[in-house]
Amino acid sequence: MKKIINDPKRVVDESVAGFGLAHADLVRVEFDPIRVVRADAPIAGKVGIVSGGGSGHEPLHAGYVGFGMLDAAVPGAVFTSPTPDPILAATKAVDGGAGVLHIVKNYTGDVLNFETAADLAAADGIEVRSVVTNDDVAVKDSLYTAGRRGVAGTVLVEKIAGAAAERGDSLDEVVAVAERVNASARSMGLALTPCIVPHAGEPSFTLAEDEIEIGIGIHGEPGRERVKLEPADRLVDRLLEPILEDLPYERGERALLFVNGMGGTPQIELYLAYRRAAEVLEERGIEIARSLVGNYITALEMQGMSITLLKLDDEMIELWDAPVQTAALRWGR
Amino acid sequence: MIEGGISVGLDITWAVDWVRRSAQVIADHRVELITLDREIGDGDHGENMDRGFQAVLPKLDDLAAGSTPGDVLKLVATTLISTVGGAAGPLYGTAYLKAAAAAGGAVSLDGTAIAAILTAARDGVVSRGKAESGDKTMIDAWTPAVDAADAAAAAGVDAAGVFAAAADAAEAGAVATEPLVARKGRASYLGERSAGHRDPGAESSALLLRAAADAAAASAGA
């Protein structure tokens, strides 16, 4: 294992400390328990939005704390949900009296820890609502699994719900738009290489030189099937087919096309993949109204990508275009 | 219960010894648990459980005089909830919390009380995690353990014997998860490919129950 780290046990603390120093204009980092809070939180009368989860998915979630997106992010250990204590502390830190929304990726640990924190916050008189994202179509049979996972669609939920909160929407309204975005987003990912959790020191799974894993989540957890590496266009088709099958589009409908890198894939490959995805959508008469390409929700150094398609309506477009100022996304301000 | 002049109920000394043995056994098996979890999950189970139990150890020194086994179980619960994270933190936290409630303020626990405590712990995990037997989770170690403990307690076996029966059954249950296809937790995403691997949560459950049985045997022999 070659990584730019000191003590494997201190990776998250030291990285988050660096993040706080680099972005002191946007956030303040608080320790014991660790959380990243928007610099001007709490904002009176604004719905607070808290997200979090295991570390290793950077820039998710701390990279999205700031104007127009999250009010706080709670980083857990690498690939491990944070405990309820920091989630509760973050919830209290961003409560401006209008209630707090928890955006939670559907993984058993995240759901259980955020649930416990929400109960504790409610006991302290804070109104908390939760939206659990589950955009991953790789999980076919929700009945016999822990359900579809929350993956790259989470970034879109955070941006759009964040814009709704920033313009002054009520907690009910922010929850409604977050749920609508989640219900309208579908994602599917693949991995060319595994990733190495620092404290484990070994790859989370092994792939032969010519093998790829289709249907991975964002933790290096194995996906649904292994196939031989194929040309990029075919890989894009493999990801788009189940997405479009799961949420069909009428000709003329609008979409946000999000091609995401898993951490170890360069932009040159992501744009190459985007080119094919755009071609497929054009053939089907789907209008790409907005797009996002880059490493926005990752699995450490994993090589791979995911494709997310979000079916857009006018309000979602307006909220997507609204100003945002965070470490990882910023425009319009 | 008094047999031959020796009290065989399990008291605070046993409870503290159980926690120390738990921390030791989890540390000893940390790498094994990480490996099991890496095969069908995300490879953090050994690390997280080790962090949790190491955090409990210094707190044992702060236990007030007159503390009961229930107080120790509650201390373990709150510490695991706030240090472990992942799914294991809330699930084990709930198990110890329900066990503490079932233990109540009792100073000494007999075989029947131990069976009731294990039942409460198992029921807590089921209600929190919504898993059923055969889903390839820690429940597949817990439910055989509870059944064996109930049978032993009904047969009049003492507390140490009840834990021994529970530990044997949990170990067999953990081994029996190997051919199962996971239907809950992160391994469920693997579908058929989860078969052939032991569930790490069932394995850590078996280790903790064995530590309890060993502490009980040491206590009975003291």
* Three-class SS of chain A: CCCCCCCHHHHHHHHHHHHHHHCCCCEEEECCCCEEEECCCCCCCCCEEEEEEEECCCCCCHHHECECCECEEEEEEECCCCCHHHHHHHHHHHCCCCCEEEEEECCHHHHHHHHHHHHHHHHCCCCEEEEEECCECCCCCHHHCCCCCCCCHHHHHHHHHHHHHHCCCCHHHHHHHHHHHHHHEEEEEEECCCCECCCCCCECCCCCCCEEEECCCCCCCCCCEEEECCCHHHHHHHHHHHHHHHCCCCCCCEEEEEEEECCCCCHHHHHHHHHHHHHHHHHCCCEEEEEEEECCCCCCCCCEEEEEEEECCHHHHHHHHCCEECCCCEECC
Chain A contacts of B41, Cβ < 8 Å? 221
pLDDT in tens, A152-175: 999 999 999 999 999 999 999 999
| Banded model confidence at residue A329, pLDDT cuts 50, 70, 90 | very high
Angle, vertex CA A157, rays to CA A153 and CA A158, nearest 5:
115
How large is the C-alpha radius of gyration of chain A? 19
CA distance A218 to A139: 13
The structure tokens 């120390």 sit at B20
pLDDT in tens, A94-149: 999 999 999 999 998 999 999 989 988 988 899 999 999 999 998 876 556 778 99
Smallest Cβ–Cβ distance between B189 and the set A84, A200, A221 belongs to: A221
What's the predicted TM-score (pTM) here?
0.86
What percent of chain A is predicted at pLDDT more than 90? 86
Do the Cβ atoms of A97 and A192 come closer than 8 Å? no
CA distance A135 to A144: 17
Burial profile B139-164: b = 16 or more Cβ within 10 angstroms, e = fewer: bbbbbbbbbbbbebbeeebbbbbbbb
Residue scoring higher pLDDT (A270 or A200)? A270
Look at A204 and B38 and tell me if their CB atoms are within 8 Å. Answer: yes
Q: Which residues pair with A188 in a beta bridge?
A: A307
- At A219, list the tokens: 């933790």
**CA distances, B87 to each of A83, A111, B123 (Å):** 10, 8, 16
Class of domain B2-221: mainly alpha
Predicted-complex ipTM score: 0.71
Backbone phi and psi for residue A156, each to the nearest 5 degrees, phi listed first? -70, -40
Is the backbone peptide bond immediately before A8 cis, with ω within 30 degrees of 0? no
pLDDT per residue rounded down to tens, chain B (222 residues): 444 434 469 999 999 999 999 999 999 999 999 999 988 887 889 999 999 999 999 999 999 999 999 999 999 999 999 999 889 999 999 999 999 999 999 999 999 999 999 999 999 999 988 899 999 999 999 999 999 999 999 999 999 999 999 999 999 999 999 999 999 888 887 888 899 999 999 999 999 999 999 999 999 776
A219 among known catalytic residues: yes
Q: Which of A146, A134, A150 is nearest to B136 (CA)?
A: A146
Residue A245: count other Cβ atoms within 10 Å of its Cβ: 10
DSSP 3-state assignment of B204?
helix
Give me the domains of chain A, ranges plus CATH numbers: 13-184 (3.40.50.10440), 185-320 (3.30.1180.20)
What pLDDT is stored for residue B187 in this prediction? 86
B34 touching chain A per CB within 8 A: yes
Q: Where are the beta strands (DSSP E) in chain B?
A: 2-3, 6-7
Torsion-angle region of A132 (φ positive above 0: left; ψ -120 to 50: alpha; else: beta):
beta
As a whole number, mean pLDDT of residues A193-218 equals 88
Counting Cβ atoms within 10 Å, is residue A123 exposed (0-12), middle (13-18) or buried (19+)?
A: exposed
Domain boundaries, chain B: 2-221
Look at A204 and B42 and tell me if their CB atoms are within 8 Å. Answer: yes
Residue B98 belongs to what H/E stretch? helix B88-103
What pLDDT is stored for residue A179 in this prediction? 98
- At A165, list the tokens: 């909160």
Chain A contacts of B190, Cβ < 8 Å? 221-222
A57 among known catalytic residues: yes
Residue A135 CB-half CA count within 13 A: 33
Q: Which residues pair with B75 in a beta bridge?
A: none
Q: How far is B7 from chain A (nearest CA, A)?
A: 40
Q: How far is B126 from chain A (nearest CA, A)?
A: 13
What pLDDT is stored for residue B139 in this prediction? 97
Catalytic residue, from A23, A57, A61, A102: name it.
Answer: A57
pLDDT in tens, B84-135: 988 999 999 999 999 999 999 999 999 999 999 999 999 999 998 889 999 9
Q: Above 60 in pLDDT, residue A48?
A: yes
